[in-house]
């Protein structure tokens, strides 16, 4: 699998555990990789970077889908997740490796980052001077495996660290109550919501409407995709936002299409569902608000332990061989060997 078809955005904003977790909330972001960049030492270790003398920043490199989010929107969002005026580090972490920076990958990103910086200054929203560096992207070295996905692998320790470091308290002091929203200042490129009711009913079958808009459930083993084994994407039938990949699909034995994870974590959202005696966690498409199904903690342990149990009627399947014609050519690399 390769993400070469997608642009990268690289940010440094203090502890990369926190910035990685924050980036993965964003619809349109496929991956977020903590690592080291901006220094002189090739392939440094965490211990070397922590000494503060390699010149590297703790940073996160995200791959994103430009059809879903613009680079400028990522930069505008980034300001609200850091303290742009702290030249000594970020939050409770001090040292050169924790300084804030934006690493641009091309001339267009440099221009967008400059424009966003100027707009922030003109808005008067940030008291004091913005010391965040704007630097050309250089070699990026992924951090050790123990640092990848830390908020997911060690949720209790991660929350203890984040609370103890005062990250969210500082963000609220700087940006106000809206900073509690992980999507503060984020503007998606793909419009939110659904078309008017008449158009929506014409677009969806009666079953698909019942499932997606009325939180219905289709019969197990009697639906279109539970036994679909071809490679391809599973997308929102209303707006086409990619939701799941065949590479994360598995046979759960339940009779519904099941996945170990969403393709883009921010493209789905969850909420508590207490309609039955046993509480469940409902899964919805972020852009459309469509009901998709539920997620359960009984999936393959080696793949994270989750089972996203979806309704076929809430998905549209795009086979690999049809990706280009359907407008998803950029995703073809996901199905190629490295």
- Catalytic sites, residue numbers: 15, 309
Determine how many CB atoms are found less than 10 A away from the CB of residue 162.
18
Provide the 3-class DSSP secondary structure of residue 2: coil
Backbone angles phi, psi at 126, to 5 degrees: -105, 115
Residue ranges of E strands in 105-256: 133-136, 140-142, 232-235, 242-245, 249-250
What single-letter DSSP state applies at residue 333?
Answer: G
Structure tokens that stand for 53 in this block: 């003398």
Residue ranges of E strands in the chain: 8-12, 29-37, 57-64, 89-90, 93-94, 101-104, 133-136, 140-142, 232-235, 242-245, 249-250, 258-259, 268-273, 280-285, 291-296, 307-310, 316-319
Q: State how far the Cα of 86 lies from the Cα of 79, in Å rounded to an integer.
A: 12
Provide the 3-class DSSP secondary structure of residue 294: strand
């Amino acid at each position: 699998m390769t993400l070469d078809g997608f642009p990268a955005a690289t940010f440094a904003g203090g502890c990369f555990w926190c910035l990685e977790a924050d980036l993965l909330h964003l619809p349109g972001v496929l991956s977020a990789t903590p690592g080291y960049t901006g220094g002189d030492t090739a392939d440094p270790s965490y211990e070397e970077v922590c000494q503060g003398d390699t010149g590297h920043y703790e940073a996160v490199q995200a791959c994103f889908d430009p059809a879903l989010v613009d680079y400028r929107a990522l930069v505008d969002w980034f300001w609200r997740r850091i303290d742009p005026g702290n030249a000594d580090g970020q939050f409770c972490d001090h040292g050169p490796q924790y300084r804030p920076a934006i690493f641009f990958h091309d001339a267009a990103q440099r221009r967008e980052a400059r424009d966003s910086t100027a707009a922030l200054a003109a808005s008067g929203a940030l008291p004091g001077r913005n010391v965040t560096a704007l630097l050309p992207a250089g070699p990026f070295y992924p951090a050790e495996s123990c640092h990848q996905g830390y908020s997911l692998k060690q949720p209790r320790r991660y929350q203890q660290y984040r609370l103890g470091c005062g990250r969210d308290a500082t963000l609220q002091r700087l940006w106000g109550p809206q900073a509690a929203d992980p999507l503060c200042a984020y503007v998606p490129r793909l419009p939110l919501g659904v078309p008017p009711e008449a158009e929506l009913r014409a677009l969806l079958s009666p079953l698909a409407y019942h499932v997606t808009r009325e939180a219905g459930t289709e019969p197990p083993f009697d639906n279109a995709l539970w036994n679909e084994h071809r490679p391809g994407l599973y997308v929102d039938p209303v707006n086409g936002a990619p939701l799941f990949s065949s590479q994360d699909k598995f046979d759960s034995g339940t009779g519904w299409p099941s996945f170990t994870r969403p393709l883009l974590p921010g493209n789905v959202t969850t909420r508590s569902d207490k309609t039955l005696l046993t509480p469940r966690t409902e899964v919805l498409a972020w852009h459309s608000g469509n009901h998709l199904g539920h997620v359960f903690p009984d999936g393959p342990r080696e793949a994270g332990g989750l089972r996203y149990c979806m309704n076929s009627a809430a998905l549209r399947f795009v086979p690999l061989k049809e990706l280009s014609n359907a407008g998803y050519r950029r995703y073809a690399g996901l199905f190629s060997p490295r």
